[in-house]
Amino acid sequence: MKVLGLVGSARRFGNSEVAVREALLGVEEAGGKTELLRLTDYEIKPCTGCMRCVFKVEECPVKDDTAFLLDKIAQADGLILGVPNYILGAAGILKMLADRAMKLMFVEPRPTLGKPAAAIVPFGVDGWEGFAMAQVSIFLLSLGYRVVDQFMIRCQGPGEAVLDDMAMRRCREAGKRVVVGERSPYLSGVCPVCHNNIFEIVDLRVRCPVCDIYGHIIVEDGRLSIKFDDPADNRWTEENMAKHFERNMLPSVERYISLKGQIKEKLVKYRKK
Protein backbone atom coordinates (compact mmCIF):
# COMPACT_ATOMS: atom_id res chain seq x y z
CA MET A 1 0.00 0.00 0.00
CA LYS A 2 1.35 3.43 -0.97
CA VAL A 3 0.27 6.33 1.25
CA LEU A 4 0.86 9.93 0.22
CA GLY A 5 1.50 12.58 2.86
CA LEU A 6 0.53 16.14 1.91
CA VAL A 7 1.75 19.11 3.93
CA GLY A 8 -0.15 22.38 3.48
CA SER A 9 2.33 24.63 5.23
CA ALA A 10 5.19 26.80 3.95
CA ARG A 11 7.17 26.13 7.13
CA ARG A 12 9.58 23.23 6.66
CA PHE A 13 9.47 20.81 9.59
CA GLY A 14 6.78 22.91 11.20
CA ASN A 15 3.91 21.38 13.11
CA SER A 16 1.96 20.23 10.05
CA GLU A 17 4.98 18.49 8.58
CA VAL A 18 5.96 16.96 11.92
CA ALA A 19 2.43 15.55 12.29
CA VAL A 20 2.38 14.10 8.77
CA ARG A 21 5.87 12.61 9.10
CA GLU A 22 4.92 10.94 12.38
CA ALA A 23 1.78 9.54 10.76
CA LEU A 24 3.84 8.22 7.86
CA LEU A 25 6.04 6.39 10.38
CA GLY A 26 2.86 4.65 11.51
CA VAL A 27 2.15 3.74 7.89
CA GLU A 28 5.57 2.16 7.54
CA GLU A 29 5.18 0.29 10.84
CA ALA A 30 1.95 -1.18 9.44
CA GLY A 31 3.77 -2.32 6.30
CA GLY A 32 2.91 0.50 3.91
CA LYS A 33 5.12 2.59 1.65
CA THR A 34 5.18 6.37 1.95
CA GLU A 35 5.86 9.57 0.07
CA LEU A 36 5.69 13.15 1.35
CA LEU A 37 5.01 16.29 -0.67
CA ARG A 38 4.92 19.88 0.52
CA LEU A 39 2.20 21.72 -1.38
CA THR A 40 4.12 24.97 -1.01
CA ASP A 41 7.00 23.52 -3.02
CA TYR A 42 4.74 23.60 -6.07
CA GLU A 43 2.94 26.26 -8.06
CA ILE A 44 -0.83 26.09 -7.63
CA LYS A 45 -2.67 28.83 -9.49
CA PRO A 46 -6.32 29.80 -8.86
CA CYS A 47 -9.10 27.94 -10.65
CA THR A 48 -10.53 30.08 -13.47
CA GLY A 49 -13.95 28.40 -13.34
CA CYS A 50 -13.90 27.41 -17.02
CA MET A 51 -15.15 23.92 -16.06
CA ARG A 52 -13.40 22.25 -19.01
CA CYS A 53 -12.14 19.51 -16.72
CA VAL A 54 -15.73 18.65 -15.72
CA PHE A 55 -17.94 19.30 -18.75
CA LYS A 56 -15.48 18.52 -21.54
CA VAL A 57 -13.20 16.13 -19.62
CA GLU A 58 -10.22 18.10 -20.95
CA GLU A 59 -6.92 18.91 -19.34
CA CYS A 60 -6.93 22.10 -17.29
CA PRO A 61 -5.71 25.05 -19.42
CA VAL A 62 -4.00 26.62 -16.39
CA LYS A 63 -0.31 25.77 -16.59
CA ASP A 64 1.27 25.01 -13.24
CA ASP A 65 2.08 22.00 -11.04
CA THR A 66 -1.49 21.06 -10.11
CA ALA A 67 -1.79 18.26 -12.68
CA PHE A 68 1.31 16.64 -11.18
CA LEU A 69 -0.12 16.86 -7.65
CA LEU A 70 -3.52 15.50 -8.66
CA ASP A 71 -1.84 12.61 -10.44
CA LYS A 72 0.10 11.80 -7.26
CA ILE A 73 -3.12 11.93 -5.26
CA ALA A 74 -4.92 9.69 -7.74
CA GLN A 75 -2.16 7.09 -7.80
CA ALA A 76 -1.76 6.77 -4.02
CA ASP A 77 -3.70 4.09 -2.13
CA GLY A 78 -4.29 6.39 0.84
CA LEU A 79 -3.72 9.96 1.98
CA ILE A 80 -2.56 11.75 5.11
CA LEU A 81 -3.13 15.49 5.08
CA GLY A 82 -1.60 18.00 7.45
CA VAL A 83 -2.56 21.67 7.21
CA PRO A 84 -2.28 24.50 9.75
CA ASN A 85 -5.15 26.57 11.11
CA TYR A 86 -4.71 30.26 10.23
CA ILE A 87 -7.31 32.84 11.34
CA LEU A 88 -10.14 30.38 12.05
CA GLY A 89 -9.55 28.41 8.85
CA ALA A 90 -7.24 26.08 7.02
CA ALA A 91 -4.25 27.56 5.18
CA GLY A 92 -5.34 29.00 1.85
CA ILE A 93 -3.28 26.64 -0.27
CA LEU A 94 -5.67 23.80 0.59
CA LYS A 95 -8.61 25.73 -0.87
CA MET A 96 -6.55 26.49 -3.96
CA LEU A 97 -5.89 22.79 -4.46
CA ALA A 98 -9.49 21.83 -3.63
CA ASP A 99 -10.86 24.09 -6.37
CA ARG A 100 -8.45 22.69 -8.93
CA ALA A 101 -9.23 19.11 -7.86
CA MET A 102 -12.82 19.39 -9.05
CA LYS A 103 -12.24 17.01 -11.95
CA LEU A 104 -11.50 14.20 -9.47
CA MET A 105 -14.98 14.70 -8.02
CA PHE A 106 -16.85 13.75 -11.20
CA VAL A 107 -14.53 11.87 -13.54
CA GLU A 108 -15.38 8.19 -13.99
CA PRO A 109 -13.99 6.10 -12.48
CA ARG A 110 -13.24 8.39 -9.54
CA PRO A 111 -9.61 7.56 -8.64
CA THR A 112 -9.85 8.35 -4.91
CA LEU A 113 -13.33 6.97 -4.21
CA GLY A 114 -13.37 4.79 -1.09
CA LYS A 115 -9.66 5.16 -0.36
CA PRO A 116 -8.68 5.75 3.30
CA ALA A 117 -7.47 9.14 4.48
CA ALA A 118 -6.56 10.90 7.71
CA ALA A 119 -6.27 14.61 8.47
CA ILE A 120 -4.33 16.49 11.13
CA VAL A 121 -4.75 20.22 11.81
CA PRO A 122 -2.35 22.03 14.16
CA PHE A 123 -3.76 25.15 15.85
CA GLY A 124 -2.35 27.67 18.29
CA VAL A 125 -5.01 29.02 20.65
CA ASP A 126 -8.01 27.35 22.29
CA GLY A 127 -11.26 28.79 21.00
CA TRP A 128 -9.68 29.76 17.66
CA GLU A 129 -10.10 26.40 15.97
CA GLY A 130 -12.78 27.90 13.71
CA PHE A 131 -13.66 26.14 10.46
CA ALA A 132 -10.32 24.55 9.61
CA MET A 133 -11.38 20.97 10.24
CA ALA A 134 -14.59 21.44 8.28
CA GLN A 135 -12.56 22.73 5.32
CA VAL A 136 -10.32 19.68 5.52
CA SER A 137 -13.38 17.42 5.63
CA ILE A 138 -14.84 19.09 2.55
CA PHE A 139 -11.62 18.52 0.61
CA LEU A 140 -11.42 14.83 1.52
CA LEU A 141 -15.12 13.99 1.26
CA SER A 142 -15.53 15.80 -2.06
CA LEU A 143 -12.89 13.50 -3.52
CA GLY A 144 -14.66 10.46 -2.13
CA TYR A 145 -12.14 9.52 0.55
CA ARG A 146 -13.18 7.36 3.49
CA VAL A 147 -11.88 9.40 6.44
CA VAL A 148 -10.58 7.03 9.12
CA ASP A 149 -9.25 9.71 11.47
CA GLN A 150 -9.14 13.49 11.80
CA PHE A 151 -8.11 15.63 14.72
CA MET A 152 -6.47 18.88 15.80
CA ILE A 153 -3.22 19.39 17.72
CA ARG A 154 -2.66 22.43 19.92
CA CYS A 155 0.86 23.77 19.32
CA GLN A 156 1.95 27.36 18.76
CA GLY A 157 5.69 27.44 18.12
CA PRO A 158 7.18 25.99 14.91
CA GLY A 159 7.75 22.24 15.36
CA GLU A 160 6.40 22.34 18.91
CA ALA A 161 4.10 19.40 18.20
CA VAL A 162 7.07 17.02 18.39
CA LEU A 163 7.21 17.65 22.16
CA ASP A 164 3.63 16.44 22.66
CA ASP A 165 4.01 12.70 23.14
CA MET A 166 0.26 12.10 23.22
CA ALA A 167 -0.26 13.99 19.97
CA MET A 168 2.58 12.13 18.30
CA ARG A 169 1.10 8.80 19.34
CA ARG A 170 -2.23 9.87 17.87
CA CYS A 171 -0.50 10.82 14.61
CA ARG A 172 1.27 7.49 14.38
CA GLU A 173 -1.95 5.62 15.11
CA ALA A 174 -3.67 7.61 12.37
CA GLY A 175 -1.06 6.37 9.91
CA LYS A 176 -1.70 2.80 10.96
CA ARG A 177 -5.45 3.29 10.61
CA VAL A 178 -5.01 4.42 7.01
CA VAL A 179 -3.21 1.16 6.20
CA VAL A 180 -5.65 -1.18 7.95
CA GLY A 181 -8.74 0.91 7.13
CA GLU A 182 -9.89 1.01 10.75
CA ARG A 183 -11.95 4.07 11.64
CA SER A 184 -11.20 6.00 14.81
CA PRO A 185 -14.05 6.22 17.36
CA TYR A 186 -15.67 9.62 17.66
CA LEU A 187 -17.47 11.42 20.45
CA SER A 188 -21.17 12.20 20.39
CA GLY A 189 -22.37 15.65 19.41
CA VAL A 190 -20.66 15.70 16.03
CA CYS A 191 -21.90 15.02 12.52
CA PRO A 192 -21.80 11.23 11.96
CA VAL A 193 -20.42 11.76 8.45
CA CYS A 194 -17.79 14.53 8.62
CA HIS A 195 -17.43 14.44 12.43
CA ASN A 196 -17.45 18.21 12.76
CA ASN A 197 -19.44 20.10 15.39
CA ILE A 198 -20.50 23.03 13.21
CA PHE A 199 -24.28 23.11 12.76
CA GLU A 200 -27.02 25.53 11.73
CA ILE A 201 -30.65 25.70 12.81
CA VAL A 202 -33.15 25.42 9.93
CA ASP A 203 -36.89 25.31 10.73
CA LEU A 204 -36.17 24.07 14.26
CA ARG A 205 -33.99 21.29 12.90
CA VAL A 206 -30.22 20.92 13.06
CA ARG A 207 -28.35 20.79 9.75
CA CYS A 208 -24.73 19.95 9.03
CA PRO A 209 -23.75 22.43 6.28
CA VAL A 210 -20.85 20.23 5.21
CA CYS A 211 -22.84 17.03 4.63
CA ASP A 212 -26.38 18.41 4.20
CA ILE A 213 -28.02 16.07 6.68
CA TYR A 214 -30.68 17.04 9.22
CA GLY A 215 -31.41 16.05 12.78
CA HIS A 216 -33.18 17.06 15.98
CA ILE A 217 -31.88 18.09 19.37
CA ILE A 218 -33.02 15.59 21.99
CA VAL A 219 -32.50 15.20 25.73
CA GLU A 220 -31.19 11.88 26.99
CA ASP A 221 -30.35 11.32 30.66
CA GLY A 222 -30.38 15.05 31.23
CA ARG A 223 -27.92 15.76 28.41
CA LEU A 224 -28.49 17.37 25.04
CA SER A 225 -27.62 15.37 21.94
CA ILE A 226 -28.48 15.33 18.25
CA LYS A 227 -30.33 12.55 16.50
CA PHE A 228 -29.87 12.69 12.73
CA ASP A 229 -32.67 11.59 10.43
CA ASP A 230 -30.71 9.61 7.83
CA PRO A 231 -26.92 10.08 7.93
CA ALA A 232 -26.50 7.63 5.05
CA ASP A 233 -28.32 10.05 2.74
CA ASN A 234 -25.63 12.74 2.77
CA ARG A 235 -24.37 14.87 -0.08
CA TRP A 236 -21.12 12.91 -0.44
CA THR A 237 -22.54 9.51 -1.37
CA GLU A 238 -21.68 8.27 -4.84
CA GLU A 239 -25.37 8.35 -5.80
CA ASN A 240 -25.97 11.91 -4.54
CA MET A 241 -22.81 13.22 -6.16
CA ALA A 242 -23.98 11.75 -9.48
CA LYS A 243 -27.41 13.37 -9.02
CA HIS A 244 -25.76 16.71 -8.25
CA PHE A 245 -23.75 16.52 -11.46
CA GLU A 246 -26.73 15.48 -13.62
CA ARG A 247 -29.41 17.74 -12.07
CA ASN A 248 -27.47 20.85 -11.09
CA MET A 249 -24.24 21.07 -13.02
CA LEU A 250 -24.91 19.69 -16.51
CA PRO A 251 -28.10 21.77 -17.07
CA SER A 252 -26.18 24.92 -16.15
CA VAL A 253 -24.30 24.77 -19.48
CA GLU A 254 -27.39 25.23 -21.67
CA ARG A 255 -28.83 27.72 -19.20
CA TYR A 256 -25.74 29.91 -19.43
CA ILE A 257 -25.70 29.73 -23.23
CA SER A 258 -29.34 30.89 -23.31
CA LEU A 259 -28.51 33.85 -21.04
CA LYS A 260 -25.15 34.77 -22.55
CA GLY A 261 -26.59 37.45 -24.85
CA GLN A 262 -28.46 39.19 -22.03
CA ILE A 263 -25.42 39.10 -19.80
CA LYS A 264 -23.26 40.62 -22.51
CA GLU A 265 -25.71 43.48 -23.00
CA LYS A 266 -25.83 44.20 -19.27
CA LEU A 267 -22.04 44.22 -19.00
CA VAL A 268 -21.65 47.04 -21.51
CA LYS A 269 -22.06 49.77 -18.88
CA TYR A 270 -19.11 48.41 -16.93
CA ARG A 271 -16.82 48.18 -19.97
CA LYS A 272 -17.25 51.90 -20.59
CA LYS A 273 -15.64 52.79 -17.25
pLDDT tens track for 88-128: 999 999 999 999 999 899 888 999 999 999 999 999 999 99
- Residues ≥6 apart with Cβ < 8 Å to 110: 104, 143, 144, 238
Task: Say whether the peptide bond before residue 109 is cis (omega within 30 degrees of 0).
Answer: yes
Q: Please determine, for residue 41, whether its predicted confidence score (pLDDT) is greater than 70.
A: yes
| Other C-beta atoms lying within 10 Å of the C-beta of residue 186 | 13
pLDDT confidence of residue 38: 98
pLDDT confidence of residue 68: 97
Q: Please determine, for residue 187, whether its predicted confidence score (pLDDT) is greater than 80.
A: no
Domain ranges (residues) in the chain:
1-185
* Residue range 136-170, pLDDT digits in tens: 999 999 999 999 999 999 998 999 999 999 999 99
Helices 92-100 + 132-142 axis angle, to 10: 20
* Residue range 211-265, pLDDT digits in tens: 999 999 888 888 888 889 999 999 999 999 999 999 999 999 999 999 999 999 9
pLDDT over 90 for what percent of the chain?
Answer: 86
3-class secondary structure, 204: coil
Q: Please determine, for residue 9, whether its predicted confidence score (pLDDT) is greater than 80.
A: yes
pLDDT band at 188 (very low <50, low <70, confident <90, very high): low
| Other C-beta atoms lying within 10 Å of the C-beta of residue 211 | 23
Beta strands in 164-256, from DSSP E residues, in sequence order: 200-202, 205-208, 213-220, 223-228
Q: Please determine, for residue 195, whether its predicted confidence score (pLDDT) is greater than 80.
A: yes
Q: Please determine, for residue 272, whether its predicted confidence score (pLDDT) is greater than 90.
A: no
Global pTM reads 0.92
| β-strand partners of 207 | 200, 214
Average pLDDT, the chain: 94
Q: Does domain 1-185 have CATH number 3.20.10.10?
A: no
pLDDT confidence of residue 101: 96
